[in-house]
Amino acid sequence: MRQAIPRNNGCRISDEWTYREQRVLVMENDLLRIVVLLDKGSDIVTFEHKPTGIDALWKAPWGDIISPGKHITTRPRAEGNFSDFHEGGWQECFPNGGRVCEYRGAEMGLHGEVYGLPWECRIVEDSRERVSAELTVRTRRTPFLIRKTLTISDGLSSLEIAETVTNEGRYPMEFMWGHHPAFGAPLLSEDTYVTTGARTARLDPGEDPDSRFSGETIAPPTAVPGRSGEPIDILRTPGPSDVVSDMFYLTDLDEGFYALTNMSLGLGFAMEFDPAVFGCIWYWIACNAPRGAPFHGRSYTVALEPFTSWPAILTHAIENGTQRSLDPGESLSTALRAGMFHAESPPQSRSELRYHR
C-alpha cells in the first residue's frame, strides 16, 4: 500500500526508509513519532512526544545503531549477542526472557530469539485518521510464529499493539514473553515516579554490589527493606548522580498498567496490558551501574517490562509455574497500549490515563 500524494498532517506511515543499512518503519501523527527497526527484532528506537520533543526511550551510551553485518565480534559471548547490538529503546523478549538456559535442546541466549531476527512488514491501513502495519516473524530455535499489528490514530499520543503467538510445532512448547522498553533522561530524573497496579515487589536473587537490597526480599513496592533495614520506596526513581543497580519483579497486579511520570515536566509514559497474559512487571534500575560489561557504570535508565513470567530465566519460570504453554497449532493473543501523557500528578489507575494534547 503506497500513498499517491504524501500527507504532511494527520497520521502518516512509511516502510520505505533505511537507517544504517536497516529497514525502518516510521509511524506518526501530530502528537507522536514512532521508529521501528524491521531488520532487528522490530525494536522501537524512537517514541517521541512531538509537542515537547521528548523521546521517552533510553539511548545506549556506547554508540548508535549498528548493523550486524558491519560488526565483527571479537569473541562470541556465552549469553549471546544481545548486548553487542543493544542500542537502548524497546525490545520484544521471546521465548526466553532473561539469562541463558537450555530448553528442548535449544540454547537460549539473553532475552531469547526475536530481538535479533528480521521481521516482515505489511502496511494494512493508511489514512489520515489511522495507520497500521502488520509485522511477522518466525523463530529459528523454537517453532513459533509471532504476528503483531501496530496502530496509531489521529489525535492520540499512543501506540496500540495487537499480537498473537502461535506454536507451529508438533509438540507442546513452553515460553516466556515480555516487552522491554528502557527509559532515559529527560523523562527519567529524580522527579520521576512510577505507579503500577502491583502490590508486591520481589527482589531478583542475583546479587549486585550496587544494589540497595540483599537476600530474599518480598515487600510492598513503597516500603522495601534496604540492606540496613530502612524502608525504601522503589517507585521513586534514582537521580542522575545516584549509583543504583536493582532488579525486581512486581507481582500481584490489581490492574495491568504502569506509568512513569516526571513531575517537573508534567509528562509521563504509560503502558496498559492484559494481566491475564502479562502477569508481572520486571523493574530494572541501572543508574551509573552495573559495573561490568557492557555498562561499566555508564547507564542512567530504568526499564518497566510487562512479562508473562518470573524470574528471568525460562527454566526457572517453569520451576515456579509462571511459564506459558501452547499445544501444537494453538495461539495466544493479547493487546497492549503505550503512550505519552500530560499530568499534574502520577495516574493511579488506567482510568486516569489520557493520551491527547
The better pLDDT of the pair 83, 319 is held by 319
Q: Cα(330)–Cα(184) distance, rounded to whole angstroms? A: 38
Count of structural domains within the chain: 1
What letter does residue 141 receive in the DSSP assignment? S
Q: Cα(169)–Cα(329) distance, rounded to whole angstroms? A: 7
Q: Cα(271)–Cα(160) distance, rounded to whole angstroms? A: 10
Lowest mean pLDDT among 2-16, 47-61, 189-203, 250-264: 2-16
Percent of the chain that is helix, strand, coil (3-state, to 5): 5, 45, 50
The pLDDT assigned to 8 comes to 85
Domain assignment present for 6: no
The pLDDT assigned to 321 comes to 96
Confidence of residue 254 (pLDDT cuts 50, 70, 90): very high
C-alpha dihedral (86, 88, 92, 97), degrees to nearest 10: 70
Which residues are within 8 A (CB) of 282 and not within 5 positions of it... i.e. 6 or more apart?
A: 97, 98, 178, 180, 247, 248, 249, 250, 303, 304, 305, 307, 310, 312
Domain assignment present for 248: yes
The pLDDT assigned to 356 comes to 85
Q: What is the CATH number of the domain that holds 118?
A: 2.70.98.10
Domain assignment present for 1: no
Domain assignment present for 284: yes
Confidence of residue 116 (pLDDT cuts 50, 70, 90): confident
The pLDDT assigned to 5 comes to 63
Q: Is the pLDDT of residue 3 over 70?
A: no
Q: What percent of the chain has pLDDT over 90?
A: 79
- Output the CA angle 44-46-49, nearest 5 degrees: 130
Lowest mean pLDDT among 75-79, 126-130, 150-154, 216-220: 75-79
If you search the block for the grid coordinates 512448547, which residue do you land on?
173
Three-state SS for 88-136 is: ECEEEEECCCCCCEEECCEEECCCECHHHCCCEEEEEEECCCEEEEEEE
Q: Cα(231)–Cα(253) distance, rounded to whole angstroms? A: 21
Most confident among 79-93, 96-110, 299-313 (mean pLDDT): 299-313
Cell numbers placing 271: 503502558
Domain span including residue 153? 12-68+77-352
The pLDDT assigned to 93 comes to 95
Domain assignment present for 276: yes
Which residues are within 8 A (CB) of 223 and not within 5 positions of it... i.e. 6 or more apart?
A: 231, 232, 233
The better pLDDT of the pair 294, 168 is held by 168
Question: What's the alpha-carbon Rg for the chain, to the nearest Å?
Answer: 20
What is the rounded average pLDDT of the residues 211-225? 95
Domain assignment present for 202: yes
The pLDDT assigned to 110 comes to 80
Q: Cα(121)–Cα(306) distance, rounded to whole angstroms? A: 24
Compute CA 182 distance to the chain's CA centroid, rounded to the nearest angstrom: 6
Cell numbers placing 11: 497520521
The better pLDDT of the pair 81, 14 is held by 14
CB 178 within 8 A of CB 278: yes
What letter does residue 68 receive in the DSSP assignment? G
Q: pLDDT digit string (tens) for 37-70?
A: 999 999 999 999 999 999 999 999 887 887 766 6
Domain assignment present for 7: no
The pLDDT assigned to 85 comes to 73
The pLDDT assigned to 79 comes to 73
Q: Is the pLDDT of residue 4 over 70?
A: no
